Amino acid sequence: MQKVFDTSAFLNRFFFNDIENVITTNSVLLEIKNREQKMQIENLIQRGKIQIQDPSKEIFIQIRAKAPKMLSRTDVEVVALAKELNLELHTDDFMMRKFCNDLKIKACPIAYAMQDNENILDTVYEKIKPTKEELENIKKISKEIIAKLNITVKKENYPIKKIILAGSSPRGTFISNKKDLDIFLLFDLSLTVEDIRKYNELILRKTFPKIKFREEYGEHPYLKAVIDDHNIDFVPGFYIKNIKERKSSVDRTPLHLAFLNKHQSEEIKKQVIILKQFLKNNLLYGADQKNNGFSGYLTELLILEFKTFENTLKELIDIEKNKYIYINKPKIMKKFDDYFVFLDPTDESRNVASAVSKKTMSIFKDVAKRYLNEKNIDFFFKDIYPKIEKDLVCFIIKIDGKTEDSNWGIVKGLTKRLANELNTKHYNVVNHSGIIHENKGLIILESKLKDTLRGPELKDTKNSKAFKAKHKTFYIKDNRLYCDVNLSKEALVKDSKKLLKSLSNNSAKLIDYKTIKLMPEELKRIRKDFLNPKEKD
């Protein structure tokens, strides 16, 4: 099949693997500066493998009117040619691929054009699957820790029923280089939550007197420590055999383990690991305040239900708001207000996907669509979010949360409230991001600094008169009054500082976004927050 190449495609090292039946524009040829490449391309043109054609003036004008400003005339000509001829465009330019996607033009990276999906996924899996040594090491470390804890429990006759290794570790459904382990201490149901918290600390300090523990908070407090180069969470809970006995969310853990152990095959585990890598790379993994995304358990249930990584993407792209997914149909269907619902097969009253926000889901759908269209391995290992080439306003502010997770919740909530308040003042904040940077809150805003006030209809004479008196620059459109509002960046900064002080009781400092030394993940997170995919409610 004939395909359209842009300049980046010709410069790519995979170019000569796919140089058959290619069409491009004259302007692309002019951008090829390397003498050897120009000679090779001229030779391929003479042999009929490359065809040169410019788009019609009419199509070019139509595409240019819709194109982002950062696309060059050559870029627009290439897109216009693909549109006019209804052909696939091969380009390594992310912005061009995104623009093509908006225009319903199929576009893919030239580097992976010759790879099929199976090869990509196999390559991903081989890079990230846990090694035999890792699995054996985790088994050895966890077995030794649990054995030591059991000795203390037996010696002191503590009311504990069972100690287990939980999470993905016992099943091997984790990404290589995992250094986090979850050990659950499950106590007798006769105790209170305060009892198990105290017993948990007592057992740990007696078993590991030289180890430093720190307290973290979930539904109730638990302890963390570093042992044998692994970060270990020691979580207290209640031992139950039936979900009706549950006293805290932690108590479901052994039921989750039993369910997954019963239903997961080796192929299912492989698909789980691939999906986890896709989600993690794109900052969509984790049911915490930082990510508002997919938990590990949800990821495993999705693969159990939809069988493969790719099929999971396809199914979730088409899922409707509040459409319920379940493995076992519940006897009584509980109503949930969450945007995305997947019922826990061990507890039909619980939504496993409750942490997945509307924005997370819309970004997931956008990224999933792009992956299925492009079949690009970069979606698993690189930052695929668009670069930010905008005039941004940025503040640093102190955040007073008790834990890292609560700090993330505070800065994200504060940023959203600030944007909403600014929009009531007509600053038209179209993008915002709040992250934790060097233990402080970093708030980034993009404002259009202009808005349009929609006034009353002309037939509403009383309110029309008041609107005209208040807004001298009014105008009439479709028998209604309007007024354009233009604001300054200085006013935005002043109002933002005032609002942040009021909302957080802390003073904010204006800084230059371009001078901040951001870590790659921080930059990716801001780019993700600035992504606003269109999704039907």
Q: What does the pLDDT look like over 123-146, one tens digit per residue?
A: 899 999 999 999 999 999 999 999
Q: Which CATH number describes the domain made up of 132-250?
A: 3.30.460.10
Q: Which CATH number describes the domain made up of 3-114?
A: 3.40.50.1010
pLDDT value of residue 221: 84
Report whether pLDDT(14) > 50.
no
- For CATH 1.10.1410.30, list the domain ranges present in the chain: 264-381
% of the chain beyond a pLDDT of 70 = 95
Q: Taking the alpha carbons of 58, 59, 61, 62 in that order, is the dihedral positive or negative?
A: positive
For residue 155, CA distances in Å to 186, 190, 203 come to 17, 20, 11
CA distance 145 to 211: 12
> Which own/partner pairs from 495-500 qualify as long-range (CB within 8 Å, at least 24 positions apart)?
495/422, 495/425, 495/427, 496/393, 496/395, 496/418, 496/422, 496/445, 497/395, 499/418, 499/421, 499/422, 500/395, 500/397, 500/414, 500/418, 500/443
Least confident of 108-112, 384-388, 487-491: 108-112
Pairing label, strands 3-5, 22-24: parallel
Rounded to the nearest angstrom, the gap between the alpha carbon of residue 233 and the centroid of all alpha carbons in its chain is: 25
Nearest CA to 508 out of 424, 442, 431 is that of 442
- For CATH 3.30.460.10, list the domain ranges present in the chain: 132-250
Q: What does the pLDDT look like over 33-73, one tens digit per residue?
A: 877 778 878 888 888 889 999 999 999 999 999 999 889 99
With cut-offs at 50, 70 and 90, classify the pLDDT of residue 113.
Answer: very low
For residue 220, CA distances in Å to 146, 188, 192 come to 21, 16, 11
**Higher pLDDT pick, 96 / 149:** 149
Report whether pLDDT(109) > 80.
no
Amino acid at 93: D
CA distance 53 to 77: 10
Helices and strands counted in the chain (H then E): 19, 20
How many other CB atoms are found less than 10 A from the CB of residue 198? 13
Summarize the confidence of residues 521-537 as an average pLDDT.
85
pLDDT value of residue 111: 54
Dihedral pair phi/psi, residue 471, rounded to 5°:
-120, 95
With cut-offs at 50, 70 and 90, classify the pLDDT of residue 318.
Answer: confident
Summarize the confidence of residues 481-502 as an average pLDDT.
95
> Which own/partner pairs from 336-342 qualify as long-range (CB within 8 Å, at least 24 positions apart)?
342/298, 342/301, 342/302, 342/305
Q: What does the pLDDT look like over 302-316, one tens digit per residue?
A: 999 999 999 999 999
Q: Which residues contact 76 (CB under 8 A, 6 or more apart)?
A: 60, 63, 64, 67
- For CATH 3.40.50.1010, list the domain ranges present in the chain: 3-114
The structure's pTM equals: 0.76
With cut-offs at 50, 70 and 90, classify the pLDDT of residue 355.
Answer: very high
Summarize the confidence of residues 399-425 as an average pLDDT.
94
Report whether pLDDT(477) > 50.
yes
Indicate the average pLDDT of the chain: 90
Q: Which two tokens stand for residue 159?
A: 């009311």
Q: Which residues contact 171 (CB under 8 A, 6 or more apart)?
A: 260, 261, 264, 269
Q: Which CATH number describes the domain made up of 264-381?
A: 1.10.1410.30
pLDDT value of residue 12: 58
CATH topology of domain 393-449+487-529: Alpha-Beta Plaits (3.30.70)
With cut-offs at 50, 70 and 90, classify the pLDDT of residue 7.
Answer: confident
CB 29 within 8 A of CB 52: yes
pLDDT value of residue 117: 52
pLDDT value of residue 15: 46
- For CATH 3.30.70.3400, list the domain ranges present in the chain: 393-449+487-529
With cut-offs at 50, 70 and 90, classify the pLDDT of residue 535.
Answer: low
The full 3-state SS of 188-252, as one line of letters, equals CCCCCHHHHHHHHHHHHHHHCCCCCCEEEECCCEEEEEEECCEEEEEEEEECCCCHHHCCCHHHH
Least confident of 1-15, 135-149, 174-188, 211-225: 1-15
CA distance 428 to 430: 6
